[in-house]
Amino acid sequence: MKLDVNALRYLSKDDFRVLTAVEMGMRNHEIVPAELVDRIAGLKHGGTYKVLRNLLKNKLVHHDATKYDGYRLTYLGYDFLAIKTLVNRGVFASVGRQIGVGKESDIFEVATEDGTILAMKLHRLGRTSFRAVKSKRDYLRHRRSFNWLYLSRLAALKEFAFMKALGDHGFPVPTAVDCNRHCVIMSLVQGYPLVQVKELQNPDDVFDTILGLIVRLAEHGLIHCDFNEFNIMIDDDEKITVIDFPQMVSVSHRNAQMFFDRDIECIYKFFNKRFNLTSEKNEEQPGSESDDEGNSRPSFLSVKKAAGSLDKELAASGFTRKEQVEMEKFIEEDAGHDSSSDDDDDDDEVSDAVPLVSLKIDQQVRLPSKDGSDEPDSNLASRDSDVPGTFS
């Protein structure tokens, strides 16, 4: 999705006030009645209606008059609220180019005041193939309340909590910097997604490192569930960084074994196809078992026996059990797996990804920082925890 942050520079305090009022209204309404927006925003002399027209023109809200005169946030509107909050916190000062388009996210470079480049991931749950969306809709029918913004916020919260915990335990993941609404700020990883790499100096070493990571994760109580060439970054020294955590589960999940085996299988398949690697050499290792072709693979059961409790630590941190359950239900309904590694056509995958180059200053859009005059959440108390966004 295109993210034109230019408009952000020209939005006034009142614009943000009304935008935040729409967001607050969405806690209880899919479409927020204009009157309610007006009441929450509390602008004088019908000012809200004029501002709403401006927000509509900038595609920050969507107008719906089917049942009554009402509005809802667009993803762009939600993006602006998150970006504004993070800029006010001093997390970054400008937004640069898009560096990645995931299945359910957009990734941009952002720069801090002192010029450090970070990565900003905006979660966009629901933006998937028709089939996946349909299966999610089927799931929604069984639920009382639901909101795409809410799920995207959960995904970001989970990703942030996991990234932080994994980093603290020495896993090669981006450094988790901050999180607001559906937006995660993390360090920028140097290198390329493994899917783009045609040749490796030491494919055996890289393969062993990656398998070792899957096993070590499980030993800590976790399974990535999307461990594939799209979510592994590799730099010129063939150093690995793992990204993309919203779908991770605990080893005590009832489908844990299947997820673990699937992660392992993805890596075997990719290395076999791309680098001609078969891995009988692991045969004698403890904790391995033979597959159909007689190759030895890490065994989930022996890994699980030794599993630590990072999953439990995480449950105790920002991402609670209830949220975990909601996310898992959603993910299970999503038949699609992020990986296209089952496809035979590798080259298409490569062309999808945007190459990483450093951000030129003139490509950045500088955003107004906090000066008191355009603070979006001052009176409206739009703290993170105030945006559950479900509607009944």
Place of tokens 């005059």: 373
Place of tokens 């461990």: 227
Question: Does the annotation mark 226 as catalytic?
Answer: yes
With CB under 5 A as the contact rule, the residue among 231, 250, 364, 382 that binds Mg ion is 231
Structure tokens at 275: 């680098």
Q: Shortest gap between Cβ of 186 and Mg ion (angstroms)?
A: 13
Radius of gyration of the chain (CA): 22
Q: 59: how many CB neighbours lie within 10 A of its CB?
A: 14
Q: Shortest gap between Cβ of 281 and ligand ADP (angstroms)?
A: 29
What residue type is 386 in one-letter code? D
Helices 148-168 and 321-333 pack at an angle, to 10 degrees, of: 110
Residue 222 has φ and ψ, to the nearest 5°, of: -130, 150
> What is residue 111's DSSP assignment?
E
Does 311 participate in binding Mg ion (rule CB under 5 A)? no
Does 100 participate in binding Mg ion (rule CB under 5 A)? no
- Residue placing its CB nearer to Mg ion in the complex, 230 or 260: 230
Find out whether 231 and 338 touch, Cβ atoms under 8 Å.
yes
Does 152 participate in binding Mg ion (rule CB under 5 A)? no
Does 221 participate in binding Mg ion (rule CB under 5 A)? no
Structure tokens at 55: 């927000």
In the list ligand ADP, Mg ion, none, the entry touching 99 (Cβ below 5 to 8 angstroms by class) is ligand ADP
- Residue placing its CB nearer to ligand ADP in the complex, 18 or 186: 186
In the list ligand ADP, Mg ion, none, the entry touching 189 (Cβ below 5 to 8 angstroms by class) is ligand ADP
Does 174 participate in binding Mg ion (rule CB under 5 A)? no
Find out whether 264 and 297 touch, Cβ atoms under 8 Å.
yes
- Residue placing its CB nearer to Mg ion in the complex, 172 or 368: 172
Does 339 participate in binding Mg ion (rule CB under 5 A)? no
With CB under 5 A as the contact rule, the residue among 96, 102, 246, 376 that binds Mg ion is 102
Place of tokens 């055996």: 204
What residue type is 173 in one-letter code? V
Q: Which among 15, 38, 106, 226 is annotated as catalytic?
A: 226
CA distance 215 to 173: 16
- Residue placing its CB nearer to Mg ion in the complex, 242 or 380: 242
| Residue ranges in contact with ligand ADP by CB under 6 A | 99-100, 102-105, 107, 119, 121, 174, 186, 188-189, 193, 230-231, 243-244, 338, 353
Q: Shortest gap between Cβ of 260 and ligand ADP (angstroms)?
A: 20
- Residue placing its CB nearer to Mg ion in the complex, 60 or 267: 267
> Measuring CA to CA, which residue among 350, 359, 315, 331 is closest to residue 120?
359
CA distance 367 to 6: 8
CA distance 377 to 373: 11
Q: Shortest gap between Cβ of 155 and Mg ion (angstroms)?
A: 12
Does 334 participate in binding Mg ion (rule CB under 5 A)? no
Q: Shortest gap between Cβ of 186 and ligand ADP (angstroms)?
A: 5
Question: What residues are annotated to the active site?
Answer: 226
Residues that bind Mg ion (CB under 5 A): 102, 230-231, 244
